[in-house]
Amino acid sequence: MKPFFATVFGGLALGFLLVFYVDPRHLFHRERLPEKPPLHGEGMPISIFFKYGPRPLKLAHITYIEPPDLVLLGSSRTMLANSHMVSPSLKFFNFSVDGAKYTDYVGFWEALNEAGKRPRYLVLVPDGYAINGRYPGGVWLNTLKYFDRFIDKDAGPVRRGWDHLMEVWYALNESITWEMFRDSTKAALHVEPIWDMRGITKEDAAQNAVPQYLGDGGITEFPVKTKSEQLAQARFYGNLGAGLYSTIMYPWTPNPKAIQAMDRILKDAHQKGTRVMIIIPPFHPQTFKTISTLGALSGPFAEYRSIFKNLAAENPGTAFCDVMDPARLNCTEDDFVDALHMVPRCVETMIRSCFTDQGWSDLLPTQPHKT
């Protein structure tokens, strides 16, 4: 048994050391991020799936942007929002990241606070899983550090004990992956210059159908799919019913710590004079129809909505806009790439509709952007 165990544990230890040392995605050594990430208006777009995850890049970018007027915190569903969707007089930045959990929302908010770049307007577009205590998957260490600092400022700690052990677990879980090992090895062998922040060119990105960063934290459209694929995928989610829940919501147990943390953002924003709007984003029409028919709207989905509605009601100056039903936005099947991800046109409609309803229409451009 010795050769087997020596190989497995020795190999894993070496692999982890390599990943830890090179740290290609800045999980452990954020301070190594280069001086100026090329996210903002340099004509060198970078793929979100190439070399850097959106968290370290967007965090690093906070140092270089001018203090924004309007900030959007959301998940992959709002990563397509960009500055053309709001008034040109506003400085807009989109901090949406894929798989956003409550630690990300708090983390970005705290990072903006620390940099003295608190916005005048904050738009939160949370997914149900952001506050679901049983949603599988870890939290991201990049934003977790800021989350810790934000929470530790006040009495009544949100995270203690086991959570810290879980951090180590998440780090290990995230490190022991093929992608991390591949990137670390390439960097160590100088096969690919990992510190080169120029990113890929527009042509490369277009050829490989990868989304690219725009200068304001938004990204270009998700990889184009054929219409039949889009519909097939939407039907796939829509027809599965119980499977749909497990993808989006189930097993559903609201996490009190997460709700408390979101509440703290709202209170902090109010104290510091930032106006906030919470938006519940839409689902694909077929998906919405399925969950409505199956009575799920009175279950976890209703709870998700009411939690954020209550948070908005309890915090003065917080607007609430629920557009889970895509019919409210006139978004059709063609406005979605799957059960929950919109195309830019629908994202823009969502922003326009909610801003108009909640009296924020002065933040909108006079004419809709042609997306």
Partner 1 sequence: MSFNSFPFIFFFLPLTLFIATYLRGQWLLGWLTLASYWFYGALGYSWVVIPLFVVTLLDFCIAPCIQDAPSLKRKRAFLFISLGVNLGILLYFKYAFSILLLGQSFFSRSGRALPDSWVTWLNVMMPAGMSFYIFQSIAYTVDIYRGKAKAENNFWTYAAFLSFFPHLLAGPITRQNQLVPDLEKIAANGIHPRWKEGIFLFAVGLCKKILVADRLGDGILHLIRLIPGNGFFACWFLAMGYGVQIYFDFSGYSDMAIGLGRLFDVELPQNFDSPYKAVSPADFWRRWHITLSFWLRDYLFYPLYFAMSRDANNNLKLIVSLMVTMFLGGLWHGASFMLGIWGCYHGLLLILYAVFKKSWDRWNTIVQRIVTFLAISASWIFFRAESMRQAIDWLKGCLGMRGFDFSFFSTANVKYLSILILGVIMVNAFPNASGYKGFVKFPASLQVGLGILVIVAFLYMNNSFQFVYFQF
| Site residues (vs partner 1, CB under 8 A) | 1, 3-8, 11-12, 15, 134, 136, 172-173, 176-178, 181, 228-229, 232-233, 239, 241-242, 246, 250-251, 293-296
Phi, psi of 215 (to 5 degrees): -75, -10
Cβ 178 to partner 1 shortest distance, Å: 4
Q: Answer whether 345's CB lies under 8 Å from 335's CB.
A: yes
Cβ 230 to partner 1 shortest distance, Å: 11
Nearer to partner 1, 155 or 242 (CB): 242
Cβ 229 to partner 1 shortest distance, Å: 6
Q: Which helix (H) or strand (E) holds 249?
A: none
Nearer to partner 1, 29 or 182 (CB): 182
CA 132/CA 303 separation, integer angstroms? 11
Residues 6 or more apart whose Cβ sits within 8 Å of residue 98: 48, 54, 75, 76, 79
Provide the 8-state DSSP code for 284. -
Amino acid, res. 255: N
Phi, psi of 207 (to 5 degrees): -65, -40
Cβ 247 to partner 1 shortest distance, Å: 12
Tokens of 267: 């209170």
Amino acid, res. 272: K
Nearer to partner 1, 121 or 245 (CB): 245
Which residues, in sequence order, are bridge partners of residue 124?
A: 73, 278
Residues 6 or more apart whose Cβ sits within 8 Å of residue 317: 269, 270, 275, 276
Nearer to partner 1, 220 or 230 (CB): 230
Cβ 24 to partner 1 shortest distance, Å: 14
Nearer to partner 1, 136 or 156 (CB): 136
